[in-house]
Amino acid sequence: MNAHPSSFGKVAVLMGGRSAEREISLMSGQGVLQALRSQGVDAHAFDPAERDLGDLRKEGFARCFIALHGRFGEDGTVQGALELLGIPYTGSGVMASSMAIDKVMTKRVLLSENLPTPRYVLLRRGGYSAAEVNAVADTLGLPLIVKPAREGSSLGLTKVTERADMAAAVALAEKMDADILCEQFVSGDEVTCPVLGTGAQARALPVIRIVAPEGNYDYQNKYFTDTTQYLVPCGLPDGEEQAIQQLVLQAFRTLNCRGWARADVMIDQATRKPYLLEINTSPGMTGHSLVPMSARAAGISYEDLCVQLLQTAALDCQPRDGTLL
């Protein structure tokens, strides 16, 4: 640890919030809070769903560790508020956060830079017909994935194997988002890769290969069961892990992420080509979470990881001479 804990000042660990991932965020936040306190950091829990963000400034908080997931925490809204308050925060800035939370926008940006991502069809609530829903299977083939464009933790996600199940899958996703992402299903190895740092200093951590029961890596299997296998070292063929790390770094920099993130990737079992699914700019920090697992494989303890991330807290618009812009 380069900085003395006292140099961080009073630290707010933002957790909970109002998104569908509130429960996971509280678990992440409590883990981060305990880790920072164990290292001598003056850290305090702060739930934006229960308190006004203006209290951060009134109560003298010097920086924030964002352990919020999903909307109102990972989507640029909290980041924008902290910019206005002039309080440095962990993770990506306003624009990168708002782009990465939106899986469709992420795809558009990745495709503009010729980075591989599965083919997709976008449906908008109230703007499609039954025939258009039915036609998605013709465009993408079966099976395919249907999910809300701006939710995480596999919430509202359905793997559709029969054309007759499309309407129900779209209806489920539509409950959570006005934009419904229908995505080509890539059959093969599911992996994830965290990134730490910013710009040229960003580095990819070890890749984790995920083996879920019956290939179903859903909300329950992510957080509340012990049957999912996480393989690190990942055991991929020679050169594949390095290629995925390089691809993830490209995506991280393309979206202008900073501090940390985690990218999810599918590897086509026939061609071995990797496809980027999404980038999480405020990844989980629970007991089942993947960034701490990968960091541990790289020799970084959970506590050191939390302190390292806190050190990267920054603002998009840095105040000059100690005054707010």
Question: Is residue 248 packed enough to be buried (19+ CB in 10 Å), middle (13-18) or exposed (0-12)?
Answer: buried
Instruction: Count Cα atoms within 13 angstroms, Cβ side, for 44.
Output: 14
> Closest Cα to residue 2, out of 303, 304, 291?
304
The catalytic residue among 16, 17, 19, 21 is 21
Q: Are 258 and 91 in contact, with CB atoms under 8 Å apart?
A: yes
Active-site annotation holds for 280? yes
The catalytic residue among 75, 177, 179, 264 is 264
Compute the distance between CA of residue 152 and CA of residue 141 in angstroms, rounded to an integer: 24
Active-site annotation holds for 284? yes
Compute the distance between CA of residue 85 and CA of residue 73 in angstroms, rounded to an integer: 15
The catalytic residue among 153, 221, 289, 294 is 153
Chain CA centroid to CA 176, Å = 17
CB atoms within 10 A of CB 125: 13
Active-site annotation holds for 301? no
Active-site annotation holds for 174? no
Bridge partner residues of 80 (DSSP): none
The catalytic residue among 70, 73, 76, 284 is 284
Chain CA centroid to CA 179, Å = 18
The catalytic residue among 89, 223, 275, 302 is 223
Helix-helix angle 302-311:22-38, to 10 degrees: 90
Q: Are 251 and 263 in contact, with CB atoms under 8 Å apart?
A: yes
Active-site annotation holds for 21? yes
The catalytic residue among 262, 282, 289, 302 is 262
| 3-class DSSP assignment, residue 122 | strand
Helix (H) or strand (E) holding 291: helix 290-297
Whose tokens are 């100690």? That residue is 322
Active-site annotation holds for 153? yes
Structure-block tokens of residue 21: 């991932």
Sequence-distant (≥ 6) Cβ neighbours of residue 83 within 8 angstroms:
93, 94, 315, 316, 317
Residues annotated as catalytic are 21, 153, 223, 262, 264, 278, 280, 284
